[in-house]
Amino acid sequence: MTEFTCSQEIVSQARRNLNQEVWDYLTGGAESEMTMRRNRHALDSYAFLPRVLRDVSTIDPSGALLGHKLRIPVILAPIGSLQAIEKGGGASSCRAAARFGTIPMLSSITEPSLEESVASAEGPKMFQLYVRGDWDWIKAILKRVKDAGYDALAVTVDSSHYGIRERQLMNRYLPPSVKAQKDRHLQAAITWDLASRIRDEWGGRFMLKGVAHVEDAAMAVSRGVDAIYVSNHGGRQLDHCMGALDSLVEIAGAVKKKAELIVDGGFLRGTDVIKAIALGASAVAIGRLQGWALAAGGEAALLRSLELLEREIVNALGLLGVTSFAELSPAYVRKAEVIGPTHELSTFYHLPQRLV
Mean pLDDT, rounded, of the chain: 94
3-state secondary structure of 195: helix
Residues labelled as active-site residues: 233
* Single-letter code of the amino acid located at 232: N
Beta-carbon contacts of 339 under 8 Å, excluding residues fewer than 6 positions away, are none
For residue 105, what are the contacts with CB-CB under 8 A and spacing of at least 6?
75, 76, 77, 78, 125, 126, 127, 128, 154, 285
Pairing mode of beta strands 333-335, 46-48: antiparallel
**pLDDT at residue 349, rounded to an integer:** 42
Amino acid at 166: E
- For residue 153, the SS3 value is strand
Q: Examine the pLDDT at 1 and tell me if it is beyond 90.
A: no
pLDDT at 202 over 70: yes
The closest alpha carbon to 260, from 73, 41, 40, 18, belongs to: 73
Is the overall model pTM greater than 0.85, yes or no? yes
- At residue 350 the predicted structure's pLDDT band, cuts being 50, 70 and 90, is very low
For residue 3, count CB atoms less than 10 angstroms from its CB and return exposed for 0-12, middle for 13-18, buried for 19 or more. exposed
Domains present along the chain, CATH in parentheses: 7-330 (3.20.20.70)
- What pairs with residue 286 in β-bridges? 76
SS3 236: coil
| Strand 63-65 to 68-70 pairing | antiparallel
- State yes or no: pLDDT of 149 exceeds 80: yes
224-241 pLDDT, tens digit each: 999 999 999 999 999 999
The DSSP line for 156-188 is E-S-SS----HHHHHHT---HHHHH---GGGGG
Q: Tell me: the pLDDT tens digits for 262-291?
A: 999 999 999 999 999 999 999 999 999 999
Residue pair 14/295 in contact by the 8 Å Cβ criterion: yes
Q: Is the pLDDT of residue 83 over 80?
A: yes
Cα–Cα dist 219/157, whole Å = 13
At 352, is the pLDDT very low, low, confident or very high (cuts 50, 70, 90)? very low
Distance CA 73, CA 317 (A): 13
Please calculate the CA angle 261-295-33 and round it to the nearest 5 degrees: 55
Dist CA 148 CA 113 (whole Å) = 11
Half-sphere exposure at residue 205, Cβ-oriented, CA atoms within 13 angstroms = 18
Dmax over CA atoms of the chain, in Å, equals 61
Give the DSSP H/E element, type plus range, for residue 261: strand 260-263
- Taking alpha carbons only, the member of 29, 198, 25, 71 closest to residue 128 is 198
Lowest-pLDDT range of 3-12, 180-189, 258-267: 180-189
Neighbouring C-beta atoms of residue 98, cutoff 10 Å? 19
Span of 97-106, 171-180, 341-350 with lowest mean pLDDT: 341-350
How does pLDDT run across 298-335, given as a tens digit for each residue?
999 999 999 999 999 999 999 999 999 999 999 999 99
What pLDDT shows up at residue 355? Answer: 39
Any residues with CB less than 8 A from the CB of 166 and at least 6 apart, and which? 28, 30, 31
